[in-house]
Chains A and B, each alone.
Chain A
Amino acid sequence: MRSKSAGDYVLDTSIYLMLTLMGVITLLPFANVLSKAVSEEWAIVSGKVGIFPVGFQLDTMKFVVTSSQFLQALWISVLVAVIGTLLSLLLTALTAYPLSKRQLPGIGVIIVLFIFTMMFNGGIIPNYLLIRELGLIDSLGALIYPALISVFNLLVIKSYFETLPESLEESAKLEGAGNLTILFRIILPLSGPVLATIGLFYAVYFWNDYFNPLLYINSTDLRPLPLYLQDIVMNANASSALDRTADQLMNVPAEGVRSATVIASTVPILLVYPYLQKYFIKGVLIGSVKG
């Protein structure tokens, strides 16, 4: 172990300072919403709540998280995120592996076919008709199946696979292993960081997906959180009150309720990342696998 040089100290100090600063300023908005969720309504409306609560209370939070509509939406969101993430991760990894073998004939064309769909899509109506044709309207399948492969995520995994040393696979091939064995025994075990990343991306996507449920879900009890949240937040954020009737205005939820709903529907997904971080931090020891 080398002792730290003076330069290292300067480097470390500046890095810690920069990161602390970044941490503080990115924490502000969340702190603000959180404070609103646990402050008195009058303090929120009059703009007194900054990053600390004013008139601390937990009634709003309690009111929000015990609402049966919230709990139902939470359950739907968890269901969709868990099933969706597992299926997507599996399918994406399976597809990415052959795509990472660009020397194989036809692979280049297939990659372009995938990328094409990143930019071009048929639009809302044909998609809606397809989902209808498949009998998926008003079912959770409509939220999962159309999103099973994100081309962005596919390309990230593919790119990662490409960086793994050829030698690993070659030695396995010499021992008579097939491509599948190689994928499951050698490649995937080495892909912790990227699989964790993409898993997170999928989980966040399914958790936040607003547009698909908006279009494909009709029943109140199949609505996931983003739809529930948007209905509550939108209610008060319409750009002008002009086109809203008195009956609507009289039923606008309090700002504290809105903030509490934002917190209650965001915190569950936030917990996923710290849990996944162990896969990021360790780094990969290819040598140990090789041996």
Chain B
Amino acid sequence: MASGTKAANTKVADIKVKRNRWKLFRSNLDMYLLLVPGLAFLLLFKYTPMYGIIIAFQEFNIFTGLSGSEWVGLEQFNKLLHSEEFLQVLINTLLISLYKIVILFPLPIFIALILNEVRRMFFKRAIQTVIYLPHFLSWVIISGLFLNILSPSGGIVNEIIRSFGGAPISFMTDSDMFRSVVVFTAGWKESGWSAIVFIAAIAGIEQEQYEAAAIDGAGRIRQMFSISLPGMLPIIVLMFILRIGNLLEAGTEQILTMYNPLVYATGDVIGTFVYRMGLGQQDYSFSTAVGLFNSLVGFLLIILGNTLSRKFLQRSIW
């Protein structure tokens, strides 16, 4: 009985909502018109080619096209998931990715926070410009440089270790050190660049808030935590959710230029494994299957991230 009334009530509410939604739609037609070019772009350049995903279920022959290629079902996925090294490669991927998220995700936020405290404009601009420089150099150049810096014979890092009486470390060939090297160099190259979006977020915070807080006697550290950080929260949440969507991409290009057979045990990730085995070369079906596997996991993680964030932080992308 009670539930019946409730159902009836929700039904009424539903109709009301529907009517409201229609009204909302009608009164905001210009908003929807604004969407037209963007949606046209999306449809033409993103969804039209989407049929290519079925290549993952075929043995694709580029000369006969989709219709002339043989269907192989999930064979391409089996080839990936059932290779002997796959488990280790997956673990490496997840570990390196997680380290990168845990250590490197907060770093740019921290940089943005402390840069915001700098009052000398020249210094601020100079630092901002300098720390994003490494982003523009390719991994080939950066790894070549690190090879020298970290070399056990004559590299500056090991010279320092030696001068403190320590034994030199073979950073590049020691499988226990390799992940650390990967995470550190990635942070070095990208933190300054990643900070830009947070710097912009802080710049978007109303100045009045700081003034009001200062009048209330809040110190600068308190202002950082009570104004700057909350002001950045929406962008932090957005960045974080998007970041975990890339969990299975642990830095293929980077690792390819840095690793060697002695560190495969800890450094081989999905991208490098596929490349190294020559599996993806000219094999469109296989590379599409690997891509699809990554995409599926990534998309699910984004949905999960969004749901959790909506529940616990009352913030979400959609």
Contacts and interface: CB of A to CB of B under 8 A. Distances in A.
Binding partners A and B: yes
Interface of A: 2, 5, 7-8, 11-12, 15-16, 18-20, 22-23, 25-30, 32-33, 47, 91-92, 94-95, 97-99, 101-108, 110-127, 129-130, 145-146, 148-149, 152, 154-156, 159-160, 162-163, 178-180, 183, 191-194, 196-197, 200-201, 208, 233, 237, 262, 266, 269-270, 273-274, 277, 279-287
A270 B136 contact: yes
B221 A11 contact: yes
B41 A91 contact: yes
A119 B130 contact: no
A-B pairs with lowest CB-CB distance, top 10:
A95-B38, A122-B49, A122-B52, A126-B52, A126-B49, A193-B203, A111-B318, A197-B200, A117-B46, A123-B52
B300 to A, nearest CB: 9
14 contacts: A11-B221, A19-B115, A19-B127, A23-B131, A26-B133, A29-B141, A115-B317, A145-B45, A160-B234, A162-B234, A180-B30, A193-B204, A197-B197, A208-B136
Give the interface SS of chain A, mostly helix, strand, loop or mixed. helix
A114 B39 CA distance: 9
Contact of A26 (B50, B53, B188): B188
B51 interface: yes
A262 B144 CA distance: 14
B304 interface: no
A270 B51 contact: no
Given A115-B302, A122-B49, A29 B207 contact: no
Contacts of B203: 192-193, 279-284
B188 A127 contact: no
A30 B137 contact: yes
A156 B235 CA distance: 7
Interface string B252-286: 00000000000000000000000000000000100
B52 A127 contact: yes
Given A32-B145, A123-B291, A15 B114 contact: yes
Nearest to A130: B49
B133 A27 contact: yes
A266 B126 CA distance: 17
B47 interface: yes
Contacts of B128: 273, 277, 280
B132 A284 contact: no
Nearest to A163: B234
Given A16-B123, A32-B145, A284-B203, A123 B49 contact: yes
Contacts of A19: 114-115, 118, 123, 127
Most buried by A among B62, B138, B192, B299: B138
Interface in B26-44: 28, 30-32, 34-35, 37-39, 41-42, 44
Contacts of B284: 123-125
Contacts of A163: 204, 231, 234
